[in-house]
Structure 1
Amino acid sequence: MMNFENLDVWKRSTRLSADIYKNPTLKKDFGFRDQLTRSGLSVPSNIAEGMTRDSDKEKVRFLDIARSSLAEARTQIYIAIDINYIESDVGRAWLNETFELSKMLTSLISKIKTRI
């Protein structure tokens, strides 16, 4: 079993999730903030859950859920920028990170799939 805490994709996704939670401008709309923080929190949580599963098929399933949560968060970040809930430079940094994390997850999924 791989220790998920050693994965860069898990470390970086936890940082992104924490950054989203800490952003003060999101506090003015609880519903929107709740949706974005939940999708952001889902990414490292599903990586952790997946990597502790015994079967590679289960690992891939949870990593795919994490990747989908990134797409959900990315959509919400685009909207948050557009409606001025977050500063454009902060949003662009978060968007770039979601793209990088998605690539990392895709690579990890491909690596695991070669064992299935």
Structure 2
Amino acid sequence: MATINRFEDIIGWQKARILCKSINTYTHKELFSKDYKLVSQIKSSSGSAMDNIAEGFERGGNKEFIQFLFIAKGSAGETRSQLYRALDNTYITNEEFQHAYELADEIGKLIRGLISHLKNSELKGDKFKD
């Protein structure tokens, strides 16, 4: 795996950003926008996936990064669940659901792979370099 110097280079973060954009677009739909609680929850969980990848990376240590990646992975799962609620309430189409669900699922898999890589790495993180 190549050395990553910025969180913006992490594919999982890039995909999470795309998911956030999609969620934001969906929540502006008339019916969806009126469900304030679900709008708040789904925007929060999708943003949390993206933000926790960034925050964990910026901490500079693999152990902390892994902890934040687990939170990000959980947030991606939470977003998938909330997408079902949006679909069941007919706030989004089947196509919108499929797009966002598959993206959130892919994010979870990418994060799981990164966690596995970090756990097996001998490097401890930037803050432990000489």
Query: If the TM-score is normalised by the length of the shorter chain, which range does it land in?
Result: over 0.9
TM-score normalised by L of structure 1: 0.94
Give the aligned residue type for 2:36: F
Counterparts of 1:18 and 1:92, CA distance in 2: 15
Corresponding position of 1:88: 94
Residue equivalent to 1:50: 56
Counterpart residue type for residue 103 of structure 2: E
Q: Does residue 98 in structure 1 map to residue 101 in structure 2?
A: no
- 1:41 is paired with a residue whose SS is helix
Q: Which residue of 2 aligns with 1:14?
A: 17
Matched to 1:30, the amino acid is Y
Contact preservation (8 Å) 1:46, 1:63:
yes
Answer yes or no: is 1:77 the counterpart of 2:91.
no
* TM-fit CA distance, 1:98: 1.0
Larger-gyration structure (1/2): 2
Distance 2:60 2:110 in 1: 21
Report the alpha carbon displacement of residue 2 of structure 1 after superposing the two structures with TM: 3.3
User: What are structure 1's unaligned runs of at least 5 residues?
Assistant: none
Tell me, in whole angstroms, the C-alpha distance in 2 between the residues paired with 1:48 and 1:2.
Answer: 12
Q: How many residues align?
A: 116
In structure 1, the partner of 2:47 is 41
Judge which range, 4-13 or 59-68, deviates more.
4-13
Q: How does the TM-score come out when normalised to structure 2? A: 0.84
Residue in structure 1 matched with residue 128 of structure 2 by the alignment: none
